[in-house]
């Protein structure tokens, strides 16, 4: 049996003060390191700061902070015969995978007018029979506005309406463009690209790059898009001005009543030297493209009660066979979506978001 530990030997008249100071210093050092890592002393740009800027001081409780207005959509994905050559992900071999998706417009207003939203978006959650998930959030713009989250924040600040005029300050926009010249081609796209009259004939682009690995172990840098099977139909400026605020969801439901709506999933492979980790740089048009499958939407549900409400469409949730690139926008999207999700789920979970949660009597 063990015996009680011998008690301390006779003290050698040593002062405990130096030892105590040493212990205090060690503990203080570790605590300071922890606080530094946790950003207590300020560590540059954080996802919280970007989310605050997106909220612009007036978040709508329980709603997504960006691309706030949308509807849940149900559907499925069927891979093409070529898909397994791109990635060994189960989603590319399973004959059909259910989709829990969301169609939306950009902006932070849950009641924003569809005819004023330059950017439209779609988010997909595909869960295969082995439990793996592929989440992606895609937009109607062909490339991201800037290369870095710092640029994204600068754009948000520069394009915020001036309280005096209600419009962005041209001087601030000019200064932003000087610092982030890559944003020029995005603004040109926003000005000149034709508007389509439906979500169904809108092309959605993943914009960020990912790495695919196939069963042979071959790795490729890729980007993906949803190319609509529905024919493009123009929406003129006059039609936009006269359109109902919710025309996109109304039109989509009417279309679904006649049959499913489909997109081709087009995967583009980078050539050597293409900018992989910069979402603001499109790849040349001649890059190899493969139709990896078909996305089919069959029904919608309002987002306040639909299954997409409590989903964070984090684009870094990927199945085995797909990996994120080192694109800083991709990592930043994961970080900012997480903050937005935590805030809105907290508001819903603590009863502060009757409208977003579709509760009776909530004011519209």
Binding site for another protein (CB under 8 A): 2-9, 16, 19-20, 22-24, 26-27, 30-31, 33-34, 37-39, 43, 45-48, 50, 90, 127, 130-133, 149, 310-312, 316-317, 319-320, 324, 328, 330-332, 334-336, 338, 341-342, 345-346, 348-350, 357
**Which residue, 288 or 326, is less far from another protein as judged by CB?**
326
**Which residue, 7 or 165, is less far from another protein as judged by CB?**
7
φ/ψ of 135, rounded to 5, equals -115, 135
Closest of 102, 52, 51, 58 to residue 304, by C-alpha: 102
The three-class DSSP label of residue 136 is strand
The single-letter DSSP state of residue 234 is B
Catalytic residue among 60, 67, 111, 220: 67
**Which residue, 19 or 190, is less far from another protein as judged by CB?**
19
**Which residue, 32 or 254, is less far from another protein as judged by CB?**
32
**Which residue, 154 or 261, is less far from another protein as judged by CB?**
154
- End-to-end CA distance of the chain, in Å? 74
CA within 13 Å, CB half, 320:
8
210 pairs with which residues across the strands?
A: 222, 324
Distance CA 266, CA 224 (A): 6
Closest separation in Å from C-beta 250 to another protein: 28
Closest separation in Å from C-beta 163 to another protein: 28
The single-letter DSSP state of residue 147 is S
Closest separation in Å from C-beta 93 to another protein: 13
The three-class DSSP label of residue 191 is helix
Closest separation in Å from C-beta 137 to another protein: 14
Closest separation in Å from C-beta 312 to another protein: 7
Under 8 Å between Cβ of 147 and 279: yes
**Number of other residues whose CB lies within 10 A of the CB of residue 172:** 15
Distance CA 338, CA 137 (A): 14
Has 67 been annotated as catalytic? yes
Closest of 224, 298, 317, 308 to residue 264, by C-alpha: 224
> What are the tokens at 276?
């992989």
Q: Which residues are catalytic?
A: 67
């Amino acid at each position: 049996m063990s015996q009680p530990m011998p008690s301390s030997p006779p003290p050698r008249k040593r002062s405990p003060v130096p030892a105590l100071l040493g212990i205090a210093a060690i503990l203080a050092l570790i605590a300071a390191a922890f606080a530094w890592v946790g950003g207590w002393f300020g560590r540059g740009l954080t996802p919280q700061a970007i989310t605050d800027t997106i909220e612009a001081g007036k978040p709508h409780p329980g709603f997504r902070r960006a691309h706030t207005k949308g509807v849940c959509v149900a559907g499925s994905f069927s891979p093409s015969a070529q898909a397994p050559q791109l990635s060994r992900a189960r989603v590319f071999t399973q004959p059909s995978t259910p989709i829990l998706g969301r169609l939306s417009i950009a902006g932070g207003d849950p009641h924003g007018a569809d005819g004023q939203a330059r950017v439209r978006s779609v988010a997909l959650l595909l869960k295969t029979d082995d439990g793996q998930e592929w989440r992606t959030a895609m937009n109607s713009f062909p490339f991201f506005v800037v290369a870095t989250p710092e640029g994204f924040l600068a754009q948000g600040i520069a394009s915020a309406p001036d309280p005096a005029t209600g419009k962005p300050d041209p001087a601030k926009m000019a200064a932003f463009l000087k610092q982030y010249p890559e944003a020029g081609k995005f603004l040109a796209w926003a000005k000149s690209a034709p508007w389509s009259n439906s979500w169904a004939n809108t092309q959605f682009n993943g914009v960020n790059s990912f790495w695919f690995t196939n069963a042979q172990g071959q790795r490729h840098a890729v980007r993906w898009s949803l190319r609509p099977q529905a024919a493009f139909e123009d929406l003129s400026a006059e039609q936009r001005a006269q359109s109902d605020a919710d025309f996109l969801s109304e039109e989509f439901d009417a279309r679904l009543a006649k049959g499913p709506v489909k997109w081709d999933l087009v995967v583009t492979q980078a050539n050597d030297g293409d900018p992989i980790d910069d979402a603001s740089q499109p790849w040349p048009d001649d890059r190899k493209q493969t139709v990896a499958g078909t996305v089919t939407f069959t029904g919608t549900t309002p987002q306040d009660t639909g299954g997409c409400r409590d989903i964070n469409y984090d684009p870094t949730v990927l199945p085995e066979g797909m990996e994120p690139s080192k694109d800083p926008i991709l990592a930043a999207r994961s970080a900012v979506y997480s903050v937005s999700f935590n805030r809105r789920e907290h508001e819903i979970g603590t009863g502060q978001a009757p409208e977003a949660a579709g509760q009776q009597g909530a004011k519209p």
